[in-house]
Structure formats: structure tokens, C-alpha cells
């Protein structure tokens, strides 16, 4: 475990990762709310590609939202985060690898950076800058969904929609969380055209 409010001057990088429906955004918002209660200045950023619900809010699936700023590139976070004590970044898998350097720069200058994102894409491969962020983070939290097929803990996001587009943002009609064994079964069935 880590000191959640910690040393106000101590920069750090925290990563919250997992599959779809694992509660990543909820956990991000929980930590940011606590930082706000501690009277720290908080800013949230997300990539402009994530326009599922709203252009100005980080919205989690349980409607527990905090306002945020959409940015086109990770570099813009550096420009917009000056003077901020706690920086939250949601849907971080959609940023490029430049986000790794941005998070390091922020943390090295004393900012607490909390990054949430998918650790794997729908094929089960590491997603965007998340694996590198996990490597350099002070703390990594992997949250789990529940497998809709068998009820075990799920870490895979199986895509139901038939498209090859990697950046497909979806809800229950597009993805389902699966455990390893159910994910492997579904992948085999998908390959066989069932
Ligand atoms: Zn399962």
C-alpha cells in the first residue's frame, strides 16, 4: 500500500489499470476526490478521442463524475498542468508514448500523477503507453472486472463487435469482460467464425 495523501511535495506516478468494466475510472475519481478533500489542486486530462459521454467530464460507469480537460496530445498536459498538485489522466491508453516522458517530468517536479487506462487491447496485447507507465510508476494497481461467462475475476476485454478498428470505445454492447480461460475459448470460436 502507499500513502494516499503522502508528502505534499513528493512527486509520484500511480497507475490504475485493468480491463473494461474493472472500475479504473471509479478508482481514479476516488483518489482525486480525496486529494480535493485534502485541499490539493486537482486537474484531470483525457485524450480527445474519448468522447463517449461528454467533452468536459471524466464520467465513470456509475455516473460519479469530475470535470476534466480533453487534450490532443500528452505534451499539452505539461502546458496546462503548471501549478497543479495532483494530475489525473483517464483513458491513458489512447495517448502515444510521449505520455511516459510527460508523467516523469511532472513527477520529478513534485506533482502526484494518477494514470488510469486499459492495460490490454481486445486481442490481449499491451495497450499504448500503459505498459511503460507501469514500469516507471511508483505504484501500480490492477483492478479486475467479473467474467460474464463464469464469474471469475476478469482481466480481458473481449470485443463483441466485428471490426478491426483498435480504437473502438464501447459499452456493454461492444465488449465483455472475460477471465483467461473464457477469453481463450471465445478467441478460438471467433477464429472459427462462430
Ligand atoms: Zn470466465
Q: Specify the number of domains making up the chain.
A: 1
Under a CB-based contact definition with an 8 Å cutoff, are residues 59 and 65 in contact? yes
Q: For position 161, what pLDDT does the model report? A: 75
Mean pLDDT for the stretch of residues 16-35:
95
Residue in 2, 54, 25 with CA at minimum distance from that of residue 118: 25
Parent domain of 105: 12-143
Catalytic annotation present for 91: yes
Ligand 1 center from residue 150 Cα (angstroms):
4
Mean pLDDT for the stretch of residues 2-19:
76
Ligand 1 center from residue 20 Cα (angstroms):
14
The most confident of the ranges 51-60, 140-149, 168-177 is: 140-149
Residue 6 domain flag? no
Mean pLDDT for the stretch of residues 177-185:
97
Residue 27 domain flag? yes
Residue 36 domain flag? yes
Q: What is the pTM of this model?
A: 0.85
How many angstroms separate the Cα of 161 from the Cα of each of 37, 57, 166? 41, 26, 11
Phi and psi angles of residue 30, each rounded to the nearest 5 degrees, phi first: -60, -45
Q: For position 163, what pLDDT does the model report? A: 63
Residue 46 domain flag? yes
Task: Tell me the pLDDT band of 187, cut-offs 50, 70 and 90.
Answer: confident
Catalytic-labelled residue, pool 27, 91, 171, 189: 91
Ligand 1 center from residue 184 Cα (angstroms):
9
Phi-psi region of 85 (alpha: psi -120 to 50; beta: other; left: phi over 0): alpha
Task: Tell me the pLDDT band of 6, cut-offs 50, 70 and 90.
Answer: very low
Residue 47 domain flag? yes
Return the sign of the alpha-carbon dihedral for residues 58, 126, 157, 147. negative
H/E element holding 35?
helix 24-37
CATH number for the domain spanning 57: value is: 3.40.50.300
Taking the C-alpha atoms of residue 85 and residue 43, their distance in angstroms, rounded to an integer, is 8
Taking the C-alpha atoms of residue 15 and residue 133, their distance in angstroms, rounded to an integer, is 7
Residue 186 domain flag? no
Question: Hey, what's the torsion of the CAs at 120, 121, 125, 127, to 10 degrees?
Answer: -70
Ligand 1 center from residue 124 Cα (angstroms):
15
Residue 176 domain flag? no
Mean pLDDT for the stretch of residues 64-72:
78
Of residues 187 and 141, more confidently modeled? 141
Residue 192 domain flag? no
Ligand 1 center from residue 145 Cα (angstroms):
11
Amino acid at each position: 500500500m502507499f500513502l494516499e495523501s503522502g508528502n505534499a511535495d513528493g512527486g509520484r506516478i500511480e497507475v490504475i489499470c485493468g480491463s473494461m468494466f474493472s472500475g479504473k475510472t471509479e478508482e481514479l475519481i476516488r483518489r482525486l476526490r480525496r486529494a480535493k478533500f485534502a485541499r490539493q489542486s486537482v486537474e484531470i486530462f483525457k485524450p480527445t478521442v474519448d468522447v463517449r459521454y461528454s467533452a468536459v467530464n471524466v464520467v465513470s460507469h456509475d455516473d460519479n463524475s469530475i470535470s476534466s480537460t480533453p487534450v490532443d496530445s500528452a505534451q499539452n498536459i505539461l502546458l496546462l498542468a503548471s501549478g497543479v498538485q495532483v494530475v489525473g489522466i483517464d483513458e491513458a491508453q489512447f495517448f502515444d508514448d510521449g505520455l511516459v516522458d510527460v508523467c516523469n517530468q511532472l513527477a520529478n517536479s513534485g506533482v502526484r500523477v494518477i494514470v488510469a487506462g486499459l492495460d490490454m487491447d481486445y486481442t490481449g496485447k499491451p495497450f499504448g503507453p500503459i505498459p511503460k507507465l507501469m514500469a516507471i510508476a511508483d505504484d501500480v494497481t490492477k483492478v479486475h472486472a467479473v467474467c460474464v461467462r463464469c464469474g471469475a475475476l476478469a482481466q480481458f476485454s473481449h470485443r463483441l463487435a466485428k471490426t478491426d478498428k483498435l480504437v473502438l470505445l464501447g459499452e456493454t454492447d461492444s465488449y465483455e469482460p472475460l477471465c483467461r480461460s473464457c477469453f481463450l475459448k471465445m478467441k478460438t470460436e471467433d477464429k472459427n467464425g462462430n
